[in-house]
Structure 1
Amino acid sequence: MTTIAPAAGRRLRLVVLGGTSGIAEATARLYAAEGAEILLVGRQEDRLAAIATDLKVRGAARAETAVADLAAPTDAAAALAGFAATLGGIDHILVAYGILGDQAKATRDPAAAERIITVNFNSAAAWCLAAANLLEAQGHGSLVVLGSVAGDRGRRQNFVYGAAKAGLAALVEGIAHRFAAKGPRAVLVKPGPTITPMTEGMVRKGFTWAKPEDVAAVVRRAADKGGPVVYAPWFWRYIMLIIRFLPAPIFNRLDI
């Protein structure tokens, strides 16, 4: 299903929840090149302002900012309504924030595990559900959510983070099903390891590591067309297919 395009003569209006993330910034640059109107939401006021200035240079018709703690939404529906008022409406919503957390700490400290789940699932779910209601009420638009290949199968290295992303995947797929034949679309984009501040300190080598720009291109396409689940880059669909179907005796011998 393809999203209904903005009316002739009207620019695309994008809200980015998590506007300072590496993938979000790269995606916003693609929208800016199209002359879109963009609202960036996040906690880092100075960083948001710097990105907004850059987006205007790159062609954005407007680039606004809003400071909010996305991980602790008090009323996501009211907040989205405010964002819509700022732009005069919303066409695309990108949910792009999250934390990786420390798996070793999360297995020992319930508070650390709760933080990973709260940020990556609980709060994201609140924003997604509010976005779904807004888009369904207006009868058009796209909700694109950044998930992770980590949600495809629990692995010892990151199963708390993976569990949160798995829950988010089920939610977004359910929203996509809810939207069937109604006009709006919902898409979960599952990146593999990506070179962003979130993965700073890891050994980031090899063909499986993507640049933010590579993932951004997938995100931008997903807002307009394609299925409800998209992998970024594409080959992760097949890597994770193999991992999901490995028999437990073999899987348990792998240090992944």
Structure 2
Amino acid sequence: MQRVLIIGATSAIAEATARLYAERGARLHLVARNRARLDAIADDLLVRGAPEVTRAELEVNDIAAHGAALDAAWAALGEVDVVLIAHGTLPDQKACEASVETALAEFATNGTSTIALLTLIANRMQTAGRGSIAVISSVAGDRGRASNYLYGSAKAAVSAFLSGLRQRMAKHGVAVITIKPGFVDTPMTREFKKGALWAKPEAIAEGIVSAVDKGRAVAYLPWFWSGIMTIIRCIPEFLFKRLSL
């Protein structure tokens, strides 16, 4: 029986992923800010087959609270086989350009808080000598673009951190998986016009579970984003500056 810890468990992608693990019969510990949503998701997961679903509230930017939250998670599950970190926001780029305070707050939510959690989680899993850590980053971190470079820079920091962590943890039997979704149709993106490149949370969840099962290093989801981002990374700077991306 797998024991799965999900941080940011009320996000659409995290909820869809939790459902897949519940259907496998995994025990789950859910962490997020909204207790009412946590309770509702937990009830649903029990119906779907999870034998036990515990949950706890956490404001991820309260770095001092991370240790106690992880203590509670490990106490609830005993040991942890899979960790999924899935929290984040989609900042207003113009607001970030206008305010240092807003920019740093958004960077903290999407970057610093994840790095802080990973530092504590990695030490625990290194001691255990087993398990998988999956983190939702983004294709936006592959190259800064004018339309969302604050978000992209936070995700780039997470991706670089995960790359180094993966190399470190490989020596200790722990897999580290970087998840890089493209456009996903979630409540966070409800105002965006949708097109052919958009995916549903359920499809991303299937990709996450598959990537964890296979121990992949980096998973672009859906798969075609790997090719798209290869092209974007290769655009010469003199031309890239003229594009509207």
User: Scaled by the length of structure 1, what TM-score is found?
Assistant: 0.93
Local SS of the residue matching 1:224: helix
Of 154, 173, 177 in structure 1, the residue corresponding to residue 167 of structure 2 is 177
Q: 1:39 aligns with which of 1, 4, 29?
A: 29
| Residue 214 (str. 1) matches residue 220 (str. 2) | no
2:232 aligned with 1:248 = no
- Give every structure 1 segment of 4 or more consecutive aligned residues whose post-TM-superposition deviation is greater than 2 Å: 75-79
Partner of 2:84: 94
Q: Give 1:18's aligned residue.
A: 8
Could you tell me which residue of structure 2 aligns to residue 66 of structure 1? 56
What residue in structure 1 maps to residue 113 of structure 2?
Answer: 123
Shift of 1:181: 3.6
CA contact 1:77–1:131 (8 Å) conserved in 2 = no
Partner Cα separation in structure 2 for residue 46 and residue 227 of structure 1: 34
CA contact (8 A) 1:98 1:120 kept: yes
Aligned residues: 245
**Does residue 223 of structure 2 align to residue 234 of structure 1?**
yes
| 1:86, distance to aligned residue in structure 2 (A) | 1.0
Q: CA RMSD in A?
A: 1.0
Residue 241 of structure 2 aligns with an amino acid whose one-letter code is N
- Report which of the two has the higher share of helix: 2
Query: Is the contact made by 2:175 and 2:215 (CA closer than 8 Å) also made in structure 1?
Result: no
Q: Which residue of 1 aligns with 2:66?
A: 76
Deviates more, 1:220-229 or 1:145-154: 220-229
2:185·2:200 contact (CA, 8 Å) conserved in 1? yes
Partner SS state of residue 74, structure 1: helix
Residue deviations 1:108-145, cap 9 Å, x none?
11111011110011111011111111111001011000
| Percent of aligned pairs with the same amino acid | 43
Q: Which residue is equivalent to 1:28? A: 18
Letter in 2 for 1:250: L
- How much does 1:156 deviate? 0.2
Q: With the length of structure 2 as denominator, give the TM-score of the two structures.
A: 0.97
- The one of 124, 149, 152 equivalent to 2:142 is 152
1:4 paired residue number: none
Contact 1:99 1:120 (8 Å CA) reproduced: yes
Q: How does 1:187-226 map to 2 (within 5 A)?
A: 187-204=177-194, 206-226=195-215
Give the whole-Å Cα distance in 1 for the aligned partners of 2:21 and 2:120: 23
SS in structure 2 at match of 1:38: strand
Contact preservation (8 Å) 1:173, 1:229: no
Deviates more, 1:11-20 or 1:221-230: 221-230
